[in-house]
C-alpha cells in the first residue's frame, strides 16, 4: 500500500495519548484518564448555530464534550440518528447538519447533560 492509502489506527479507550512520566510508584494511566473525563451531569455543553462559510446552510455545533474520541464518535452517531441528519465529530465538538438545535438539546438533556443555547 502506498503511504496515502494506509489505514490509520483508532485510539483505544485506554490510550494515554502520549508519554506520561510519574515518580509516584502507585501511578496508573487508566486512573488519571478517568479523572480527566467528567460525568454527563458535570459537563457544560453549548449548542451553537452557524451559517458562516457554509453557503447559507445552517449547522449546529455542540461544543464542550470532555471524553475520548471513541465516546465522542458514539455521541455523534446517537445524535445524528435521533435528529435524522448528517454530521461529524472533531476534537471536542459535534457538528450536525441542518436546523436541529432543539432536537439535539432535548436529546442531550434527556441523557443527563446540561446544555445552553448560544447565539441565534
CATH number (domain holding residue 63) = 3.30.780.10
Q: pLDDT tens-digit profile of 22-65?
A: 677 776 666 444 444 555 556 789 999 988 888 888 999 999 88
In a domain, 4, yes or no: no
In a domain, 43, yes or no: no
In a domain, 78, yes or no: yes
In a domain, 17, yes or no: no
Q: Which domain holds residue 100?
A: 49-118
In a domain, 106, yes or no: yes
In a domain, 22, yes or no: no
Total number of domains in the chain: 1
Phi and psi at residue 35, in whole multiples of 5°? -70, -30
E strands present in 5-110: 44-50, 59-63, 87-90, 93-97
In a domain, 10, yes or no: no
Cα separation, 87 vs 61, in Å, equals 10
In a domain, 3, yes or no: no
Q: pLDDT tens-digit profile of 63-72?
A: 988 888 899 9
The pLDDT assigned to 110 comes to 92
The pLDDT assigned to 47 comes to 92
Has residue 114 got a pLDDT over 60? yes
Closest CA to 71 of 95, 92, 85, 52: 92
What are the grid coordinates assigned to 90, written together?
472533531
Amino acid at each position: 500500500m502506498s503511504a496515502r492509502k494506509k489505514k490509520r489506527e483508532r485510539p483505544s479507550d485506554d490510550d494515554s495519548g502520549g508519554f506520561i512520566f510519574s515518580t509516584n510508584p502507585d501511578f496508573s494511566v487508566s486512573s488519571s484518564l478517568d479523572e480527566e473525563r467528567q460525568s454527563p451531569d458535570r459537563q457544560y455543553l453549548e449548542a451553537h448555530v452557524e451559517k458562516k462559510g457554509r453557503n447559507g446552510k445552517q449547522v449546529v455545533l455542540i461544543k464542550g464534550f470532555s471524553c475520548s474520541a471513541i465516546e465522542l464518535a458514539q455521541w455523534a452517531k446517537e445524535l445524528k440518528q435521533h435528529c435524522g441528519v448528517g454530521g461529524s465529530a472533531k476534537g471536542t465538538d459535534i457538528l450536525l447538519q441542518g436546523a436541529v438545535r432543539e432536537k439535539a438539546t432535548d436529546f442531550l438533556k434527556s441523557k443527563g447533560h446540561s446544555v445552553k443555547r448560544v447565539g441565534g
